[in-house]
Amino acid sequence: MSCRSCATLLKRTALALLATSVAWSPKLALAEGQTDAAELFNAAEVHMRSGDYATACQEYAQSYRLDAQLGALLHLADCEEKRGHAGSAWRHFSAARAWAEERGDPRAAYASSRAAALVGRFATLSLDIPERARIATLTITCDGEALPESAWSAPWSLDSGPHQIEASAPDHQTFRISISVGSLGRAVVQIPELAALVAQPSSTSLGAAALRNPELVAPRAPSSAHGNGASSRQGSERLSRAASVATSAPAGATPTLRLVGYSALGVGALLLAGGAAFEVTKGVALSERDQICPTSRDCTLDEKSRIDGLTADARAANRLGTAGLISGATLIGAGAVLVLSSAHRERSTALMVVPSAGQGCAFAELVGAF
């Protein structure tokens, strides 16, 4: 088997290993996200009991972003109300009501009653957007949060205090405005038509224009025979320089395969370390569980509860540890294959324009190796 065939086989093997690791990665990320969400939720409960509503609301919000649960959203809404943010509380209770009704969850009635009790206790934002400004790619945010299109034509609940409104779209100038509202204020913001950005000509477009118009790189030849020869040489030199600039590529670029390989090695090492840590956690939980009631007879209800909790912890740690070890080993193997295969020398591509001249005409030849 030739060296080129070996390199191709190694690359295909590495891609297959990477595909396997990709199949495990979402499951591992989901499990880790759910664990972090539970820890943040428990921390928020502690801060709620101590009256630190600002910290508790932030932790509830982060927990909900990591693992969207109806309970976390309801707790966040309750926290915002206790914090004095009636506008945010009403939005969260309303979202929880709609979500619960869609799922047939009995907590819909609770969320609805809490939202109704907040009506008339918060400020509102109304947007005035002319039809010409409603382009397809328009995005409007309030304090960094994207406003749904339903809020473009209906009041949006606000907390009292300062707010930053921003309207943006790709290839358009951004509109920003700062407002401040009281607890029952009503703010109206007019969104103007966003001006389009003027595209600056790039070096590539300039080079293409030069190739379309040879007069940009080669001057007209004088009428005398002597002048024709000098002009031909000057035009050839300028055309050669222009072609060299247009076709040259940056040298010394790091091979993409090698970069991907080293990245896979690094991520794989982290996953292996995480998997090993979860395996240690599993062992500690099992050891502690086995010491609570060694005979498994005449155990108290409290001891049985602790045994069940530690067993559940050990199972969760086992799942995470197995996923981490398998994904880490797979990524390390794939990364090693990619790094080794990238060392194989690949045939380079060269492209060059060679000027030529004939009697009464001048032309250029495109030559290269691919």
Distance CA 179, CA 29 (A): 39
Give the pLDDT of residue 320: 85
Give the pLDDT of residue 335: 75
Distance CA 164, CA 188 (A): 13
Give the pLDDT of residue 162: 96
Give the pLDDT of residue 279: 86
Give the pLDDT of residue 125: 96
* Count of Cβ atoms closer than 10 Å to residue 328 Cβ: 23
- The structure tokens listed for 66 are 């990591």
CA atoms 228, 231, 235, 236: torsion sign: positive
Backbone angles phi, psi at 130, to 5 degrees: -65, 155
Give the pLDDT of residue 285: 76
Distance CA 43, CA 83 (A): 17
| Residue 163 DSSP SS3 | strand
CB 319 within 8 A of CB 334: no
Distance CA 53, CA 11 (A): 54
Please give the average pLDDT of every successive group of 10 residues along the chain, which has 370 residues.
54 58 54 77 95 96 94 96 96 96 95 96 96 95 94 94 96 96 93 88 55 50 47 50 44 62 83 86 78 65 71 81 84 79 52 52 50
Intra-chain end-to-end CA distance of the chain, in Å: 23
| Global pTM value | 0.50
* Count of Cβ atoms closer than 10 Å to residue 215 Cβ: 9
What would the DSSP string read from start to end of 297-348?
A: SS--HHHHHHHHHHHHHHHHHHHHHHHHHHHHHHHHHHHHHHHHHHTSPPPP
